[in-house]
Amino acid sequence: MSDIILHKGREKSVFRRHPWIFSGGIARVNGNPQGGEIVTVRAENGKFLARGYWNQRSQIQVRILTWDDEPIDHNWWRKMFTRAINGRKHITSTAYRLINAESDFLAGLIVDKYGDWLVLQALTLAIDLIKKDLAELLMELTGARGVYERSDVDVRGKEGLKSSVGVLAGEAPPNPIIVDEGVKLAVDVYGGHKTGTYLDQRQNRALVGELIYSQPHLTTVLNLFSYTGGFSIHALHHPQAYVVNVDASADALMLARENMRLNRIDEARAEYIQADVFDDLRARMTANELYDVVILDPPKFAHAQSQVEKAARGYKDINLNAFKLVKSGGYLFTFSCSGAINADLFQKIVFGALEDSGREAQVIRVLGASDDHPVALSFPEGAYLKGLMLRVY
């Protein structure tokens, strides 16, 4: 096994159990590790620090798997998978994240559960090399009927990898898969966003439903970037609620209609508008429309630190117009899934939009991802989803 020797002083992040070692922290490499190979990380004096996997092509050259001097073998993967699975046993939804990469101390691996099927994303070279073995182990531990791969994300390019999709083990999943998170949702794991849908918003969708059901006067809902209508289906559990769904994707809106039928909701209680949300927002503001609840769940605006300034302008624009569409005493649910924009910056952006709107607002709740998306305290980068539940006057 090759040794990765760190520069003096660069071991501090390893002591803090951060899982990434960048190229600039490495003094030398003893041996000739191949991409994806397990390596030992040592301090300048040779002291053992951690063990992880190597990829010289990546800016993050070592991703740590363990801080103990133990082998990374089949039994180790079984132990870590079992721990992640046991940590989700309380979840009653039939769709949730089973393994959350670095935040489950399994760098580079995402696994989502949709009913009897698992969907796997191999984000790094090392995981890609062993993904079939991992899929077989996951089937054994979960009883899943099959594991489907959705490794079609841009981040793989930084590891020298191309997109990869297809069945890894067992049976191919149906299309769509029908899941139950308190409401029924149809999920397209073949072509849907992420691994099929936004599992990280599961508890926030339920929160919207609970709010509207508990306050009967909240009847009109504007769901922006509505995708397949998950927030809308929860909102429509209130028998008097009416929802306007706005999204740029005709396919997503078609699946939103299917979700209405699955839950036996009268289609007359919803609108489906295919439009650019920025343009639609401005048009509604010009028309002086008002809604009891506005939901603003845009896609990622900042994919890198260099895009933060432009993304901030985009977030401010849509929040400014959204504030103007909320009835006095109504609610705005606003989100950002851009990891490059932290929670403090996001709240400042929303405050700036509020200030320019001339409205007043209270933070009722600070929101994040569902509890199947834990964030390791040593890996704050994992807290990518942030949101605010605001009461607006």
Residues annotated catalytic, as ranges: 337
Residues whose CB is less than 8 angstroms from the CB of residue 9 and which lie 6 or more positions away in sequence, other chains included: none
Task: Compute the radius of gyration of the chain from its Cα atoms.
Answer: 23
CA–CA distance from 210 to each of 213, 241, 274, 275 (Å)? 5, 12, 27, 28
Query: For the chain, how many residues are written?
Result: 393
Q: How far apart are CA 366 and CA 380, in angstroms?
A: 16
The single-letter DSSP state of residue 343 is H
Nearest to 206 by CA among 329, 372, 86, 85: 372
Residue 344's CB is within 10 A of a number of other CB atoms, namely 9
Which residues 6+ apart lie within 8 Å of 207 measured at CB? 365, 367, 389
Three-state SS at 253:
helix
Strands 291-296 and 326-336: parallel
Beta bridge partners of 147: 118, 169
**Alpha helices, H only, the chain:** 12-15, 74-86, 125-142, 202-214, 230-235, 250-262, 277-286, 308-323, 343-357
Locate 155 and state its tokens: 């981040």
Rounded Cα distance between 103 and 80, Å, is: 12
The angle subtended at Cα 224 by Cα 220 and Cα 228, nearest 5°, is 100
Q: How many other CB atoms sit within 10 Å of the CB of residue 71?
A: 11
